[in-house]
Each structure stands twice: as structure tokens, then as C-alpha cells.
Chains A and B, each alone.
Chain A
Amino acid sequence: AQSVTQPDIHITVSEGASLELRCNYSYGATPYLFWYVQSPGQGLQLLLKYFSGDTLVQGIKGFEAEFKRSQSSFNLRKPSVHWSDAAEYFCAVGGLYSTFIFGSGTRLSVKP
């Protein structure tokens, strides 16, 4: 079955600390992987995506993610979190011509 798992419902980090949000997927075909961020009451903004090639992808706002096929993971990282990064983060997987499957989301809180 195709699925996306974000095991952490809520994470709190201190401002300036590093961040890693986990994402594991199960997908039968070549996966296209995405991370989106959603602020309260807003739509989704694409942070980064992986289609092929270099398994370490850089995104906006200083985020990066690493695709690990052997672990079926696509974890999101940021070396130094800013207070404005507090939001909900969604991992998604899709395939060519297919729809997206979203994870349940991870809410990030940032302590001053």
C-alpha cells in the first residue's frame, strides 16, 4: 500500500538549534517527494522537491532534505531554526501522472 508516515506529531526546538523532521514512505513506483510548509489558515508552500539525481536537495528558507532509497526516507533538515519557521510541515509522495499522498504533518514550535 502507498503511504507516507511522519512519525512526529509535534516537535519543539529552540531558536538557533538544528532541526530534522522525519518522513518515511511506501510507494510502488519511482517516487517523487515533496516537503510543504503551512502556516495557520494558509495554503501550502513548497519547500523542496526530489525527482531524481543528487539525493541531497536544497530548498527555500535554508531547508534541505536527503532522499535515502534504502531507508525509504526523505527527512527534512535545517541547521539553525528561526522563530518564523514555526508552522505545520507536510511530506508528500507522488508518481508520474498520479496524485499526491500526504503525511499527517508535523507541527513545529520554536522556543525563544
Chain B
Amino acid sequence: GAVVSQHPSWVICKSGTSVKIECRSLDFQATTMFWYRQFPKQSLMLMATSNEGSKATYEQGVEKDKFLINHASLTLSTLTVTSAHPEDSSFYICSARASPGTGTEQYFGPGTRLTVT
């Protein structure tokens, strides 16, 4: 149980285009989803927290107009990288929490590698 999927697992796009990454909780309802960014050989950096049906909360320094997050349902959150540039190339990982106050356990997706050329 508690499986989180991400799609696509790997995407290459041209500079200036937009890319959408999906994060789905397959066998549970996720009231809260998190988006992380990970640079090579570095730790995970939290980008934003999204709660179903409300606006995402972005961490300091993360451009909300560039990284659009939508959490339209209890099983799906999307991250759209708008007008992508090579510096946006990174490994993006989502996680989901089943419900608030249940020990904060997060279930992680397998990640999406974005390469912007």
C-alpha cells in the first residue's frame, strides 16, 4: 500500500517551453502533497506544499509563477515548470501524506528527471 507514482519519469524539453509533471497517490487519498527538487549529489529541497483544493504554499526563494502547482483532487497533484531554462534541469520528487496528523509520514514518488536543452 501507500504507493505514489510520477509521470513522466524522464523528460527532455527545449528552453522556453513548459513541462507538466504529475504526482498520483495510487491507493490512498492524499490531503497534502509535497514537491521537492534535488540537484546531483545533494539533498532534497522542499519547493512547495499543496493541500487539495487550496493554493500551494511555496518555500522562500521558489518562484511560484515559474513552478505552478495544482492539487485538484485527493489523488493528483501537478507541477508545471513554465518557460523552462537549462538551470531548471533537476530531479523533481513528489511525496504525499495520507491525512493530517497521522504521524507526518510521507510516501515518495520515484522522481522525474527534467533536462532542459
Q: State the A residues within 8 Å of B (CB).
A: 32, 34, 36, 41-46, 49, 51, 90, 94-100, 102-105, 107
Contact = CB atoms under 8 A, between A and B. Distances in A.
Interface string B3-16: 01010000000000
A32 B103 CA distance: 7
B61 interface: no
Interface in B33-84: 34, 41-44, 46, 49
B100 A97 contact: yes
12 contacts: A32-B103, A32-B105, A41-B111, A42-B110, A43-B4, A44-B108, A45-B108, A46-B105, A97-B101, A100-B104, A100-B106, A103-B43
Which secondary structure dominates chain A's binding surface?
loop
Contacts of B6: 43
Given A49-B103, A90-B44, A98-B104, 9 more contacts: A32-B104, A34-B105, A43-B111, A44-B95, A51-B103, A96-B101, A96-B103, A97-B100, A104-B42
Interface residues of B, number: 24
Contacts of A42: 110-111
B109 to A, nearest CB: 5
A1 to B, nearest CB: 14
B34 A102 contact: no
Nearest to B10: A41
A49 B43 contact: no
B93 interface: yes
Contacts of A46: 105, 107-108
A77 B42 CA distance: 22
B72 to A, nearest CB: 21
B85 interface: no
